[in-house]
Amino acid sequence: MPAGPAIPRARIAVLRPLDVRAVRLGTAGALGAWQERNADATIPHCVAQLEASGVLDNFRRVVGESDAEYRGFVFADSDLYKVIEAVAWEIARSGTRRWDTWLDDVIGLVARVQDATGYVMTWIQGVRPEKRFAELEWTHEMYILGHMIQAAVALDRAAGRDDLLRIARRFADLIDSRFGPEGQKGVCGHPEIETALVELYRHTGERRYLTLAQRMIDLRGTGLLPVGRLGARYFQDHAPVREATTAVGHAVRQLYLNCGVTDLYLETGEPALMKAQLAQWVNAHKRKQYITGAFGSRHRDEAFGDDYELPSDRAYAETCASIADLHWSWRILLATGDARYADTIERELYNAIAASVDATGTRFFYSNPLQLRPDRYDEENAPRERAEWYACACCPPNVARLIAQLSSYTAALGDDELRICQYTDCDIELPQHVGDGVVHVRSTYPASGVVDITLNGRLAPGFRLALRVPRWSNGATSDDGRMPADADGFVRLQPGHAAPPVAGDQRPEPAGQADEQWRWRVEFDVKPRWTRAHPRVDAVRGCVALERGPVVYCVEQADLPPGVDLDDVAADPSVAPSERTGVRIPGSADAVPAPPVLEVAGELMEPENELYRAAADDVDPDADADAAGASHTDDAMAARRATRRLTVSAIPFGSWGNRTSGAMRVWLPAARYPLHDLDPGDVKPDTTD
C-alpha cells in the first residue's frame, strides 16, 4: 500500500493518491521551501513545546514519573499524536533519523500509560477517572484516539515501525468492544475518530474498524449527545449525515466529520452519503467560506455563521478549520476528479494556512481575521500577534503535520492519466503501471504563472498527463495557443503534442534522462484582479479585494505614510494595479521568488466625526434626480470626499503581520467618487513614494 494520509482500498474513487515518497518538492518552489522550514523550525518547535506546555508531564504523572500538576485542556494528549504524525511524514519526505530517539522515548511513555484494557487518556487516568466514557460530548476520548491512530498509521507507512500502531489498535479494540455493533450506542462530541477508523481499516484490512466507523457515522444526528446550552448543531447532532446538507456548528468538528463521511463513501460507494456531502460542500464554499479559504465567523462557539455571515474583523477563521477543509476537499477530489476541489486546496494553502505561521515557522495564529483594527485588543485564541503556543494548542501541530505531508496533494492517478493538482517545483516518479521515468515540474508559482513540465521516460500505452486549470485563470496557454480545460477542470497532454524546448532556456537537463523526453510549457494568467463579494455579504458590501493568481492580498498600516489611517483609505478599482518588482515580501523565503508587491490607486477619504448622519447628506449635489435617488441604494461606500491621492502597497495576505502588529485589511472600500471625476482643487497631490 502507498504511504500517505488517506489511501482508499476500494476502487470507487475517480482518482487515487500517489505514494508520498514518489513526489519530491524542490526548495526552489514555495511549497518545498515551506516543507524545509517546517522540518528545520516548526517541527522542532512543536517538539520543544510538548515539554514546555506540560503535555509530556501529563503522561509521566499517570505512571508516577512526574509530580507536576495536569496542564492544558482535557484533549492535550492529541497535541503529542499530531506532532508524531508530523515527524512520521517528515521521515517519509527526507529519511531523517533525527527523531528516532525521541520517538522511542515518547512512544515508550504512551505504552507505559496504557492500562490493561487498552485505554490511554491522561486527563481521565490522572485527574477524573470517574469520567471514563461518561461524558462523550466533552471528554474527547475518541477524538484523542483518532489522532493516535492517524499518527500510528503514518509512522508505520513512513518508517515501518508499528510500536504506536499496536498501542492504537488495543485502544481501538476497546472502543469497538464497548461501542461496536454489540455494544452501547455512543458518538464523540468532537468528530475525528470516524476518519481515523476508516484509515485503520485501510491499513490493517480489519473490516471491523470500518464497521465501527460506519456505526458512529450512522448514529450521528440521532440525539445521543446531551448538547446543553450550545445546542445540537454545535455537535452536528441535529440531523443524520445523509440529511445534513448545510455546514453548521463548530467548524472544525463539522469538517472532521465530513472527512470521515467521505472516507466511508470511498469504501462503500453509498450514493446517499456523497449526495449529502456534495450539497454540504457547496453550502460551505459558496456561502460560508472567506475569500482567504478560512471558515468560522463566530467566536463564541468557533462556528459557521448563517449564509453570507462573513465579517472581516470578527472572523474567527480558525487555522484548524482550513486544514480540516483541505483534508475534506482532497477526499472529494479523489471521489469526483473535479478540479474545483484542488482549487480550494490551493486557496487555503496560499492564504489562510500560510498566514497562520510566521516567517520563522515558530509563531502561529489560531484565529485568522481578514481585518485588524488599530485598537483591536487580544482575545482568547485571537491575539493581535502570532504566539509561540496556545493553551488550546491544536493549530500549531496541525500545521506541522499538514506541511510535512504536502507531497500527497500535488498529484493523483486516474485510470489512464497522471493528474497534476498543485503547481510547485517538484519531481514525480512514475508508478510502474503508469510508465517508466520521472515528470519534472519547474516553476516559481505562484510568483509566476509559467509552469515547465518535462517527461523523462515513457508513459505506458494509453496514459497521458493532465493539468489542473485554475478557475481564476482564463484557461491556460502554451506555445500552440490557448488550452481550454475539459469539464472537470483539467487539460490533457499527450506525448507527441509537446512543445519544443523553450528558446533561450539555459537550465540544465533534468538528471536521469530516459530514452524519451517530452516538454510542455503552460502559462496561467496571474494578472492582478479586483474581486467583490456576493451582495448578501453585508460586512464587505461596497468593498473590493485584490487577488493575483491564487493569492489574496491585503494592505497593512506599516505600508502607509505617517498620519494616514488605514480605515480612511479607499481603493479605486477602475485603475489596474501594477506590480512592483525587486521588493522583498515580508515573511517570504529568501531563496524563493515571491508574488510581487502590488501598487494600488487609492484615495484618502476625509474623516467623519459623526457616528450616524442623514442619508440625504450622501447625495452628490451635482447629480441628476435619478442618480441622486440611486445613491441611497448604491453598494459603494458612503459619500466621503477624497482629500488626497495615494499609492497604496498591497502584500500577500499569507505574509502579513511579520513586521508590526498594526492594522490590516483585505477588503478595501471602493471609492464612491472615482478620482477622474474629482475637481483637481479637491485633491491634494500624492507625496508618497
Q: Using one digit for the tens of pLDDT, what is the confidence trace for 230-254?
A: 999 999 999 999 999 999 999 999 9
Joined together, the cell numbers standing for residue 463 give: 496514459
Question: Beta strands 569-571 and 597-605: pairing type?
Answer: antiparallel
One fold for 16-368+384-409 and 412-524:
no
CB atoms within 10 A of CB 641: 12
Q: In this model, does residue 684 exceed pLDDT 60?
A: no
CB atoms within 10 A of CB 527: 15
Report d(CA 346, CA 547) in Å as an integer. Answer: 13
Q: Using one digit for the tens of pLDDT, what is the confidence trace for 186-204?
A: 999 999 999 999 999 999 9
Residues 443, 448, 449, 450: what is their CA dihedral angle, to the nearest 10 degrees? -50
* pTM: predicted TM-score of the whole model, two decimal places: 0.92
Q: Are 501 and 550 in contact (CB under 8 A)?
A: no
120: helix, coil or strand? coil
Joined together, the cell numbers standing for residue 370 give: 481578514
Cell 453509498, located at residue: 270
Q: Are 146 and 196 in contact (CB under 8 A)?
A: yes
Q: Using one digit for the tens of pLDDT, what is the confidence trace for 512-524?
A: 433 567 899 999 9
Backbone angles phi, psi at 459, to 5 degrees: -85, 145
Q: What is the pLDDT of residue 609?
A: 78
* Length reported for the chain: 689
Element (H, E) at 456: strand 450-459
User: Does the 412-524 domain belong in CATH 3.30.70?
Assistant: no
Report which DSSP code applies to 607.
Answer: P
Report which DSSP code applies to 349.
Answer: I
Among 259-268, 351-360, 396-405, 640-649, the least confident range: 640-649
**Residue 338, C-beta contacts closer than 8 angstroms, at least 6 positions apart:** 332, 488, 489
What letter represents residue 547's amino acid? E
Q: Using one digit for the tens of pLDDT, what is the confidence trace for 104-128?
A: 999 999 999 999 999 999 999 999 9
From 46, 320, 394, 421, active-site residue: 394
Residues 305-311: contacts with CB under 8 Å, at least 24 apart: 307/283, 307/536, 308/534, 308/536, 308/537, 308/538, 309/539, 310/533, 310/537, 310/539, 310/540, 311/539
Q: Are 308 and 537 in contact (CB under 8 A)?
A: yes
What letter represents residue 10's amino acid? A
Inter-helix orientation angle 77-94/43-52, to 10° = 150
If pLDDT is split at 50, 70 and 90, which confidence band does 640 have? low
Average model confidence (pLDDT) across the chain? 90
Backbone angles phi, psi at 396, to 5 degrees: -55, -50
Opening angle at CA 443, ends 439 and 445, nearest 5: 130
Q: What is the pLDDT of residue 605?
A: 85
Helix runs in 288-379, H state only: 319-336, 340-347, 354-355
Joined together, the cell numbers standing for residue 395 give: 493549530
Report d(CA 330, CA 409) in Å as an integer. Answer: 7
Question: Beta strands 450-459 and 435-442: pairing type?
Answer: antiparallel
Joined together, the cell numbers standing for residue 42 give: 516548526
Joined together, the cell numbers standing for residue 293 give: 479559504
Report which DSSP code applies to 616.
Answer: G
Q: Are 278 and 348 in contact (CB under 8 A)?
A: no
281: helix, coil or strand? helix
Report d(CA 166, CA 203) in Å as an integer. Answer: 13
Question: What are 598's strand-pairing partners?
Answer: 579, 650
Going from N- to C-terminal start, the domains of the chain cover 16-368+384-409, 412-524, 529-682
Q: Using one digit for the tens of pLDDT, what is the confidence trace for 43-86?
A: 999 999 999 999 999 999 999 999 999 999 999 999 999 999 99
Report which DSSP code applies to 234.
Answer: G
Q: What is the pLDDT of residue 480?
A: 78
Q: What is the pLDDT of residue 622?
A: 57
Question: Is position 379 annotated as part of the catalytic site?
Answer: no
Q: What is the pLDDT of residue 255?
A: 98
The alpha carbon dihedral of 223, 224, 225, 228 has a sign of: positive
Among 243-252, 288-297, 361-370, 471-480, the least confident range: 471-480
Of 1.10.3720, 1.50.10, 1.10.287, 1.10.3470, the CATH number of 16-368+384-409 is 1.50.10
Report d(CA 154, CA 453) in Å as an integer. Answer: 30
Cell 472615482, located at residue: 674
Q: What is the pLDDT of residue 549?
A: 97
Cell 465501527, located at residue: 212
Q: What is the pLDDT of residue 631?
A: 41
Report d(CA 164, CA 184) in Å as an integer. Answer: 27
Q: Are 316 and 296 in contact (CB under 8 A)?
A: yes
Q: Using one digit for the tens of pLDDT, what is the confidence trace for 344-383?
A: 999 999 999 999 999 999 999 999 999 999 877 677 667 7
If pLDDT is split at 50, 70 and 90, which confidence band does 507 have? very low
Joined together, the cell numbers standing for residue 315 give: 472572523
**Residue 616, C-beta contacts closer than 8 angstroms, at least 6 positions apart:** none
Q: Are 592 and 28 in contact (CB under 8 A)?
A: yes
Q: Using one digit for the tens of pLDDT, what is the confidence trace for 135-176?
A: 999 999 999 999 999 999 999 999 999 999 999 999 999 999
The alpha carbon dihedral of 238, 242, 245, 251 has a sign of: positive
Question: Is position 394 annotated as part of the catalytic site?
Answer: yes
From 36, 137, 141, 302, active-site residue: 302
Q: Are 425 and 443 in contact (CB under 8 A)?
A: yes
Report d(CA 190, CA 137) in Å as an integer. Answer: 7
Cell 463521511, located at residue: 261
